[in-house]
Amino acid sequence: MIKILVIDDDPAMTDLLKLLLRQTGAEIRTVNDGRSGINMTKTFSPQIIILDLMMPEMDGWQVCKEIRTFNDVPILILSALDSPGLVAAALDAGADDYLIKPVTSSVLIAHINNLIRRALKEKQNLALC
């Protein structure tokens, strides 16, 4: 079973994503702040993280950089910010993909599947070495 962690400060958004992603059969956990997201990454060991950028106290860029210090889990940024510079900054911080809200559930699930497929392929390649 795929494990997905959603980190977004808006409880309505995390509830919506949990509802949309349930159809994938994944185990989904949600948290509403960056520090909890980092801690949940350590204890839950997700196969993918969906991360918002604009959060109080610790923003998504900081969360992404912190997670990258101990884990290479695929990180999908899901943000309302639609600026090429911000997209580049998120990717430079260690994110693997970037989608702009609102996004249809089919596109979101396709991006999740792509990231998981890529991560599994990389692990298989490493095992062969």
Work out the pLDDT band at 129, boundaries 50, 70, 90: low
What's the confidence (pLDDT) of residue 128?
Answer: 73
Work out the pLDDT band at 23, boundaries 50, 70, 90: confident
- The string of pLDDT tens digits covering residues 24-81 is 899 999 999 999 999 999 999 999 999 999 999 999 999 999 999 999 999 999 999 9
What's the confidence (pLDDT) of residue 40?
Answer: 98
Cα dist from 59 to 38, 79, 93, 98, 107, whole Å:
12, 12, 12, 15, 24
Does 3.40.50.2300 match the CATH number of domain 3-128? yes
Instruction: Provide the residue ranges of all domains of the chain, joining segments of one domain with +.
Output: 3-128
Distance CA 37, CA 64 (A): 10
**pTM listed for this prediction:** 0.94
Strands of the sheet with 3-7, listed across from one edge: 27-31, 3-7, 48-51, 75-79, 97-100
b/e code 53-67 from CB counts within 10 Å (16+ = b): bebeebbbbbbbebb
